[in-house]
Structure 1
Amino acid sequence: MNGKLASYSVDGTHYYGAVRDDGMIALSPDFPQWPDLRAVIEAGGLDRLLEAAEGRPITHEAGTFDYEIPLANPEKIICVGVNFPDRNAEYKDGKDLPQNMSLFIRFPRSFTGHDRPLIRPKASDKLDYEGEIAIVIGKGGRHIPQEQAYDHIAAISLCNEGTLRDWVRHAKFNVTQGKNFDRSGALGPWLVPFRDHAQLEDVRITTRVNGETRQDDRTSRMIFPIPRQIAYISAFTTLVPGDIIVTGTPTGAGARFDPPRYLKPGDVIEIEGEGIGLLRNTVEDET
């Protein structure tokens, strides 16, 4: 069963529901036992939601609601860095492809939803974009073998892993600050239930800024494919339903241009994932 599920709000009231071209079908009122999409995923209920939406009219027309990030309270958001060959080459350090992946953590508060502005903070004007595919864990586990990793994915989404470039260089070895400014990145617009390996194994991911293509690559070129990511991460921490893994960005971020091309108020950033959707955001300054 195909479909898209989203979290959204109307005048401060939060819902989750099924996405249609002309709006949303609110489903959360029908499932009070599941307060949010994380609870749905924990219960293995994505298909029940899609079944409940069949044949029903929309409850909220397009333009009458605001997208929220799909999962507001995941236990963990783990991001994979330097995961495409051309991205690795950007560092110009003469080193071969890494043997193990670089990882860092983001907090939910550092993201906003689809069609909402990224916030360029008062502390820096070096806000950059990174288009990525995000996966959501459905079945938890520890020491998950690569050959079983796909069985642990519940859904797919998109991420603009916005980064304050000067703040990832504030110390000898950390990136936490530059990756976690409030609403500096975006997740969404929705969750696409995961059905088949083909949804992730060779997917085109592109980033456009004001209509100009800046990033363009395919998941088949990842240094660390998604099953390996799940196996590696679960070697040291227990993955639980609702955890999000942000799987790595291609070459072409603004910092790598000469001179750098950082985001500024009024810019429009579009992250598109083949078979997943399009995540769009603008930019505003912090007030």
Structure 2
Amino acid sequence: MKYLSFHAEGRDRFGFATVNGVFDLSRRTAYTSLRDFIARGRADEARLIAKTDTADYALAEITFLTPLPDTDKIVCVGVNYPDRNAEYKDGSELPKYPSLFLRTRGSFVAHGQPIQLPPESSQLDYEGEIALVIGKPGRRISEDNALDHIFGLTLCNEGSVRDWMRHGKFNVTQGKNFEASGSIGPWIVPIADVGPLGSVEIKAFVNGELRQEDKMERMMFPVRRLISYISNFTALLPGDIIVSGTPTGSGARFDPPRYLVAGDVVAVESDIVGRLENRVELERA
């Protein structure tokens, strides 16, 4: 079972997908969005519908939206794989605390929608990542209880405009928040269907060429630590997204750099979650 938000027959909807097709929860329930459904913890309703009802749409009949268009916040983790830290070639020790920044909802598009290459830069880069979706609210969550707060996993291409990331001395906000510069989706796989988190693999491809590959077990700050640390300073809410960091192999680390250009196709893939794919196009100024 995979939870998603989508557009069909002239309106935005949400539901879940199985091998039988897409089931529309927005017409079957009183919930206002997938985020509302997650907050109420009613996955049992979806399982019952999957067993007793028929699908409303084939996947080919829908247009994907980002899984949680109304998410409260998207917290992103920088430099969370040891090889990624070594890419900086600054001789630094592994960090004691995660590097964090926030992204806006508008900086991401859905699966199948075009990623925008802004006219202000030619340094749009890709970063394939696993993203955690929070299901249970909490503040100052202990590491022992952290996994209880996860609803599921989705995929992210955490697109970055590299030169704009260097405009500020102490922040990367500008380069991480260009409109439609990254993507999230295509859906959320519930944590009960994931298995051991450490075995979850992440890959990123550009035009079919494998550029990034790693497993979550190698993260410097594991999922339990991230949830506990982040929840110290902000209350985590149902539908919040934590983008957990990218492996080595982004375009900036090649010599010369291999930034994205119009027409490139970026795919982020996980054998557990699925495949998130987007084409790059020039943004009209």
Q: TM-score, normalised by structure 1?
A: 0.95
Q: Does 1:87 align with 2:105?
A: no
Classify 1:117/1:219 alpha carbon distance in 2 versus 1 (closer, same or farther; 3 Å): same
Classify 1:22/1:30 alpha carbon distance in 2 versus 1 (closer, same or farther; 3 Å): closer
In the TM superposition, what whole-angstrom CA distance separates every residue of 1:28-65 from its partner, at most 9, and x where no partner exists?
A: 10112x11110001100233223213343332233322
Aligned runs of 1:117-136 on 2, under 5 Å?
117-136=114-133
Structure 1 residue aligned with 2:269, among 267, 272, 275?
272
Maintained 8 Å contact 1:22/1:62:
no
Aligned-residue offset at 1:127: 0.8
SS at structure 2 position matched to 1:63: helix
CA distance in 2, matches of 1:279, 1:267: 14
Q: Does 1:8 align with 2:6?
A: yes
CA distance in 2, matches of 1:179, 1:11: 33
Classify 1:165/1:11 alpha carbon distance in 2 versus 1 (closer, same or farther; 3 Å): farther
SS at structure 2 position matched to 1:151: helix
Match of 1:44? 41
In the TM superposition, what whole-angstrom CA distance separates every residue of 1:182-209 from its partner, at most 9, and x where no partner exists?
A: 1111111001111277342221110011
CA distance in 2, matches of 1:17, 1:196: 17
CA distance in 1, matches of 2:221, 2:124: 26
Structure 2: 5+ residue runs without aligned partners?
A: none
SS at structure 1 position matched to 2:259: coil
Aligned-residue offset at 1:11: 5.1
Match of 2:177? 180
Q: Does 1:69 align with 2:66?
A: yes
Aligned-residue offset at 1:21: 4.5
CA distance in 1, matches of 2:110, 2:57: 17
Maintained 8 Å contact 1:69/1:113:
yes
Match of 1:241? 238
Structure 2 residue aligned with 1:224, among 221, 235, 256?
221
Maintained 8 Å contact 2:199/2:217:
yes
Aligned-residue offset at 1:10: 2.1
Structure 2 residue aligned with 1:26, among 24, 27, 34?
24
CA distance in 1, matches of 2:80, 2:21: 35
With 7-16 and 150-159 compared, the bigger mean Cα shift is at 7-16
CA distance in 2, matches of 1:270, 1:196: 22
Match of 2:255? 258
Q: Does 1:101 align with 2:71?
A: no
CA distance in 1, matches of 2:28, 2:52: 15
Equivalent residue letter for 1:9 = H
Q: Percent of aligned positions with the same letter in both sequences?
A: 51
Q: Stretches of 4+ moved more than 4 A in 1?
A: none
Q: Does 1:163 align with 2:160?
A: yes
CA distance in 1, matches of 2:160, 2:237: 26
Maintained 8 Å contact 2:15/2:34:
no
Structure 1: 5+ residue runs without aligned partners?
A: none
Equivalent residue letter for 1:15 = R
Maintained 8 Å contact 1:160/1:187:
yes
Count of matched residue pairs: 284
Aligned runs of 1:138-217 on 2, under 5 Å?
138-195=135-192, 198-217=195-214
Classify 1:50/1:120 alpha carbon distance in 2 versus 1 (closer, same or farther; 3 Å): farther
Q: TM-score, normalised by structure 2?
A: 0.96
Classify 1:197/1:266 alpha carbon distance in 2 versus 1 (closer, same or farther; 3 Å): closer
Aligned-residue offset at 1:215: 0.2
In the TM superposition, what whole-angstrom CA distance separates every residue of 1:185-241 from its partner, at most 9, and x where no partner exists?
A: 111100111127734222111001111100001100000001000011011111111
CA distance in 1, matches of 2:19, 2:132: 23
CA distance in 2, matches of 1:155, 1:71: 12
Equivalent residue letter for 1:8 = F
Equivalent residue letter for 1:38 = R
Maintained 8 Å contact 1:208/1:269:
yes
